[in-house]
Amino acid sequence: MKRRELLAAVPALAAAALPSWTAAQPVYPASPVKVLVGFPPGTATDVAVRAVSEQMARRLGQPFIVDNRPGAGSNIAAKAVATAQPDGYTVFAITIANVINAAFPGSNAVDSLKEFKPITLIGNVPNVLVVHPSLKVTNVAELIALAKARPGSLAYASSGIGTSPHLSGEQFALMADVKMVHVPYKGSTPAVTDLLGGQVQLMFAPASTVLPHVRANKLVALAVTSPRRTSGAPDLPTLDELGLKGFDTSVWMGLVAPAQTPPSVTAKLRTAAHAALDSSELQAIYKAQAIDVLKTSDEEMSRFLRNEAARWSKFVQHTGIKPE
């Protein structure tokens, strides 16, 4: 064989001598997928993720294991996924909390825009403005009038400093031009407990947390904080409708993967998640928890995350809120 022919044959010989890596790759997913949630079991995010994960498992033929790792406003779970292998076997349930965490100056929170690859949004839970019946107000206008007549005397509870319920109260006070006292708790459960007991007068809380108490006439619901009315309580007006234009502090949630996850993998996860969200079984679970269905492409979710990051960074700077 001539030298030129020998050199030309080397690549083909080398390729033949090596195993076909592409052909050897199993079809994704070939093993269980772990979905990390930064909140305890039973929370709205946990309920939504479990419902979606169960349906995705049926469609993709592998278990989707929900792993609850609460703490640091969901940042512990976020960091675990951001540093995981980008192979599609570790997914994170991102929420508004992760964007708010990163909005504080000097924060060491995960940068959702840089460290994750979007899959899809999966749901939205509006916060509901609820008051204790002893306050004797039946609508938002009466609440604002009372707060203006008694500046600094009304106390609102939240699930912690920098949480969506806290920033809901801050935004309400700013837009309605009222002064209220913020009382932070370590989670929604103790906050709602004290609200039911009358130790605080009002709260912005996830619909799934407080609507059962509203139906039992233990709390009075005045409005929702989402841009549109929620399917879980369609009779409740939005704050935007009532004159606080642009008010939106609903608790959205979605699925993301480590930044370098192959697009083919995230696309497969997105397709399965969207099919799950279309199922009547999942929609029944969502409706019972006052969760509204959301579905997005990766580009739509990227744009949404950028807008949310800019919005909350500006709000935190404007109000001067400090992290806990």
Task: Note the pLDDT of residue 25.
Answer: 62
Q: Is residue 18 part of a domain?
A: no
| Digit-coded pLDDT (tens) for 279-304 | 999 999 999 888 999 999 999 999 99
Tell whether the model's pLDDT for residue 197 goes beyond 90.
Answer: yes
Same-domain pairing of 150 and 131: yes
Tell whether the model's pLDDT for residue 181 goes beyond 80.
Answer: yes
Q: Which of 163, 231, 156, 235 is nearest to 201 (CA)?
A: 156
Tell whether the model's pLDDT for residue 10 goes beyond 70.
Answer: no
Tell whether the model's pLDDT for residue 13 goes beyond 70.
Answer: no
Tell whether the model's pLDDT for residue 22 goes beyond 50.
Answer: no
Q: Residue 36's domain is classified under what CATH number?
A: 3.40.190.150
Which of 174, 205, 224 represents a domain boundary (last residue)? 224
Q: Residue 177's domain is classified under what CATH number?
A: 3.40.190.10
Task: Note the pLDDT of residue 80.
Answer: 97
Q: How confident is the model at residue 321 (pLDDT cuts 50, 70, 90)?
A: confident
Exposure string of 203-224, with b = 16+ CB inside 10 Å and e = fewer, is bbbbbbbbbebbeeeebbbbbb
Tell whether the model's pLDDT for residue 206 goes beyond 80.
Answer: yes
Q: How confident is the model at residue 71 (pLDDT cuts 50, 70, 90)?
A: confident
Q: Is residue 27 part of a domain?
A: no
Same-domain pairing of 140 and 220: yes
Tokens matching residue 14:
């080398």
Block residue for tokens 């707060």: 147
Q: Is residue 243 part of a domain?
A: no
Average pLDDT, the chain: 91
- Report H helices in 18-163: 21-24, 44-60, 75-82, 96-103, 112-115, 140-149
Lowest mean pLDDT among 5-19, 59-73, 127-141: 5-19
Tell whether the model's pLDDT for residue 15 goes beyond 50.
Answer: no
| Digit-coded pLDDT (tens) for 104-124 | 988 899 999 999 999 999 999
Same-domain pairing of 39 and 76: yes
Same-domain pairing of 47 and 87: yes
Same-domain pairing of 147 and 97: no
Q: How confident is the model at residue 21 (pLDDT cuts 50, 70, 90)?
A: very low
Tokens matching residue 241:
């409708």
Mean pLDDT of 75-102: 96
Q: Which residue type occupies 286?
A: Y
Residue 250 near residue 107, CB atoms below 8 Å: no
Same-domain pairing of 102 and 138: no
Provide the domain limits for residue 139: 127-224
Q: Is residue 49 part of a domain?
A: yes
Tell whether the model's pLDDT for residue 324 goes beyond 80.
Answer: no
Give the integer Cα–Cα distance in Å for 77 and 101: 13
Q: Is the peptide bond before 151 cis (omega within 30 degrees of 0)?
A: no
Same-domain pairing of 313 and 169: no
Same-domain pairing of 165 and 92: no
Give 217-286 as a DSSP string: TSSEEEEE-SSS--TTSTTSPBTTTTT-TT----EEEEEEEETT--HHHHHHHHHHHHHHHH-HHHHHHH
Same-domain pairing of 118 and 181: no
Q: Is residue 144 part of a domain?
A: yes
Residue 182 near residue 171, CB atoms below 8 Å: no
What 3-state DSSP class applies to 66? strand
Which of 224, 241, 267 represents a domain boundary (last residue)? 224
Total structural domains in the chain? Answer: 2
Q: Is residue 236 part of a domain?
A: no
Residue 157 near residue 200, CB atoms below 8 Å: yes
Task: Note the pLDDT of residue 160.
Answer: 87
Same-domain pairing of 306 and 157: no
| Digit-coded pLDDT (tens) for 26-56 | 799 999 999 999 988 988 899 999 999 999 9
Q: Is residue 3 part of a domain?
A: no
The whole-model pTM stands at 0.85
Which of 161, 189, 224 represents a domain boundary (last residue)? 224
Tokens matching residue 23:
């052909």
Same-domain pairing of 115 and 145: no
End-to-end CA distance of the chain: 76
Q: Is residue 312 part of a domain?
A: yes
Same-domain pairing of 119 and 256: yes
Task: Note the pLDDT of residue 20.
Answer: 45
